[in-house]
Amino acid sequence: MAAQRGEGETTATPLEPADRERARAIPEAAVARLAVYLRVLSGMSDQGVTAVSSEELSQAAGVNAAKLRKDLSYIGSYGTRGVGYDVEVLVSHIERILGLTRNHSVAVVGIGNLGHALANYGGFPGRGFPVTALFDVDADLVGVPVGGIPVNHIDEITAVCIEREVSIGVIATPPPAAQSVCDRLVSAGVQCILNFAPVVLQVPDNVEVRKVDLAVEMQILSFHVARRADEAVHAAGGVSAGIGPAGNNGHGVDGMVIRP
Amino acid sequence: MAAQRGEGETTATPLEPADRERARAIPEAAVARLAVYLRVLSGMSDQGVTAVSSEELSQAAGVNAAKLRKDLSYIGSYGTRGVGYDVEVLVSHIERILGLTRNHSVAVVGIGNLGHALANYGGFPGRGFPVTALFDVDADLVGVPVGGIPVNHIDEITAVCIEREVSIGVIATPPPAAQSVCDRLVSAGVQCILNFAPVVLQVPDNVEVRKVDLAVEMQILSFHVARRADEAVHAAGGVSAGIGPAGNNGHGVDGMVIRP
DNA sequence: CCGACTTTGTGCATGCGTTCACAAGCGGTA
DNA sequence: TACCGCTTGTGAACGCATGCACAAAGTCGG
């Protein structure tokens, strides 16, 4: 069904049959972690580290060692028992599975504060995501270069996206405009969308949407503040300088007690 | 153990004993969704809607109706069978559980592109999160007001955070500075951190960290692009205008087929 | 006042993801 | 070559979250 818009996609590494089967089976959560491993590994590589064990890597990535090994096993067996993993080998395999062997053009829609920040991010963290198009409704912004790219009017979205083979659309508009922008992106053939607007987007199910929602993040933190504060109050009625009921799973980095 | 810094916390709504027990049991995933429901409900409230059924609300929030009811049941039974939920009642209960009955001062560290965007966000989406402090290492920025708040030097972080009772710290620094900034926030008594830097932060386990990682989001999307493209290629060898093996879970909004 | 209809709240089964624990495999060493 | 210690890869158990299906509980019309 999908993407045969623009034959430019042929530069992608073809993926072995065995890998194809695997890729389909990788849990979403594991994919997210693979991206983290990749960053940690890249850092190690830059520092000249050539080999790493699951224990080391898992600590650096902040996860359980067993989980890390299982995650890596989803993409194949590239470790050496008794030794560990070759950093470069791992990097290249993760990059291949994540589809980072080719570039993904990014379009940012909505050049407000956030849009500016995104456009200026400079090659986007973790290269491979060049921002090739910017859009806004504001006629005064059209033609103004932001981060080296001139802004286009939002009405040109379809033509420009197709022309520049945009594969990822970033929505950084005010909430009311988000759904409309999303629809336009979709009809321009964009199948992946990163949405910063605090809105639940409706999309056909061949389109992948990821949401970054500041308000939600803040409120989750708020929830924990409230829970903590509450526990503290009610722990005061408890035993001595008590450990409190919350699952205190040992290994405390602690040493960070608040003054009395 | 926790937070007895500043008695200013007394303005929080006390939470009934029954609620305290509940709050501890709410799954993290459900908390995130509650925040979404809250936003949708607020929007409805603004439009004068006073009652809503689980079916309507769940559609607006993009989730399963049963899941929504279960989520709401975590915070208590505030619906009326045969009728639905009272919007205002639901709003106030969710706000209470999420700890939104009091303000949470926010400090933003790192006033680059992103920091600017955050500081200018204007009262932060979903009020209740006033930005009360900004920090940067750059001496030239100190004193400059951004979004109405003058920037402080990062060395003042402890004093200022304590003075202004900051409860949430936002890290928007370059990666190398993130851990150091985090440590300083923690020693200033900040127990909740929202991290935009692509770094795995090490914190004592009484501190809650949430990560917003652009690179990871992009790479997850990239993964899906790759998977899709690959499926498309190999589906070409398949049956007729085939439905493709990917779990096509009915209810397609579709009508978005790409031209042949 | 009663019965039919609507919608909530939840017990239960299912599936996914995490964790444990250990066998298999490899390098180093005598 | 044979042994030993270390680390991977994974089968299996566990736990959490999702989705289903239905009883409980309320409203509305007659």
Structure confidence by residue, pLDDT tens digits, B7-25: 333 345 555 555 655 666 8
- Is B225 within 8 Å of A192 when comparing Cβ atoms? yes
> Which residues in chain B have their CB less than 8 angstroms from residue A227's CB?
23-24, 99
Structure confidence by residue, pLDDT tens digits, B126-153: 578 999 999 999 999 999 999 999 999 9
Structure confidence by residue, pLDDT tens digits, B37-53: 999 999 999 999 999 99
- Name the residue with higher pLDDT: A1 or A121: A121
Q: Which residues pair with A168 in a beta bridge?
A: A106, A192
Q: Where on strand D do bases come within 7 A of a protein Cβ?
A: 5-11, 16-21, 24-27
Q: Which nucleotide is at minimal CA–C1' distance from B55?
A: C7
Mutation pick from A1, A21, A39, A96 vs chain B, by most beta carbons of B within 10 Å, is: A1
Helix residue ranges, H only, B51-137: 54-61, 65-74, 87-97, 113-119
d(CA B235, CA B124): 46
Q: How many CB pairs under 8 A join A and B?
A: 281
Please report, in tens digits, the pLDDT of each residue of chain B (260 residues total). Answer: 333 333 333 345 555 555 655 666 899 999 999 999 999 999 999 999 999 999 999 999 999 999 999 999 999 989 999 999 999 999 999 999 999 999 999 999 999 999 999 998 865 655 789 999 999 999 999 999 999 999 999 999 999 999 999 999 999 999 999 999 999 999 999 999 999 999 999 999 889 999 999 999 999 999 998 888 777 777 665 433 333 333 333 232 332 322 33
Element at A80 (helix H, strand E): strand A79-80
- State residue B124's pLDDT score: 64
Question: Quick one: which of A109, A141, A175, A196 has its CA closest to B114?
Answer: A196
- State residue B18's pLDDT score: 59
Give me the residue label for tokens 């999309």: A203
Give the Cβ contact number of residue B240 at 10 Å. Answer: 5
pLDDT of A66 > 60? The answer is: yes
Question: Quick one: which of A219, A221, A121 has its CA closest to A172?
Answer: A121
- Name the residue with higher pLDDT: B86 or A228: B86
CB-nearest partner of B39 from A192, A198, A256: A198
Residue A23: closest CA among chain B residues belongs to which residue? Answer: B227
SS (H, E, C) B129-144: CCEEEEEECCCCCCCC
- Residue A131, CB-side half-sphere exposure with 13 Å CA sphere: 26
Which residue is closest, via its CA, to the C1' of D7? A82
CA of B27 to C1' of D15 (A): 13
Residue A9: closest CA among chain B residues belongs to which residue? Answer: B229
- State residue B241's pLDDT score: 34
Is the distance between the Cβ of B152 and the closest atom of strand C smaller than 7 Å?
A: no
**C-alpha A79: how far from chain center:** 25
Contact at 8 Å (CB) between B119 and B108? Answer: yes
Q: Compute the CA torsion angle B214, B217, B221, B227 (nearest 10 deg).
A: 130
Q: How far, CA to CA in Å, does B113 sit from each of B17, B116, B219?
A: 44, 5, 22
Query: In a 3-state reduction of DSSP, which class is residue B166?
Result: strand
Task: Tell me the whole-structure pTM to 2 decimals.
Answer: 0.85
d(CA B132, CA A35): 34
- Is B229 within 8 Å of A114 when comparing Cβ atoms? no
Question: Quick one: which of B216, B221, B199 has its CA closest to A106?
Answer: B221
Cβ contacts of residue A194 below 8 Å, gap of 6+? A168, A169, A170, A171, A209, A210, A212, B217, B218, B221
- State residue A124's pLDDT score: 64
- State residue B255's pLDDT score: 29
Average pLDDT, integer, range A114-142: 87
- The structure tokens listed for A35 are 């991206």
pLDDT of A62 > 90? The answer is: yes
- State residue A100's pLDDT score: 94
- Is A200 within 8 Å of B168 when comparing Cβ atoms? no
- Is B221 within 8 Å of A257 when comparing Cβ atoms? no
> Which residues in chain A have their CB less than 8 angstroms from residue B116's CB?
113, 117
Contact at 8 Å (CB) between A97 and B223? Answer: yes
pLDDT of A241 > 90? The answer is: no
Q: Which nucleotide is at minimal CA–C1' distance from B76?
A: C9
- State residue A25's pLDDT score: 82
3-state helix, strand, coil in chain B (%, to 5): 45, 15, 40
Query: In a 3-state reduction of DSSP, which class is residue A168?
Result: strand
Is the distance between the Cβ of B83 and the closest atom of strand D smaller than 7 Å?
A: yes
Contact at 8 Å (CB) between B242 and B248? Answer: no
- Residue A43, CB-side half-sphere exposure with 13 Å CA sphere: 15
Element at A58 (helix H, strand E): helix A54-61
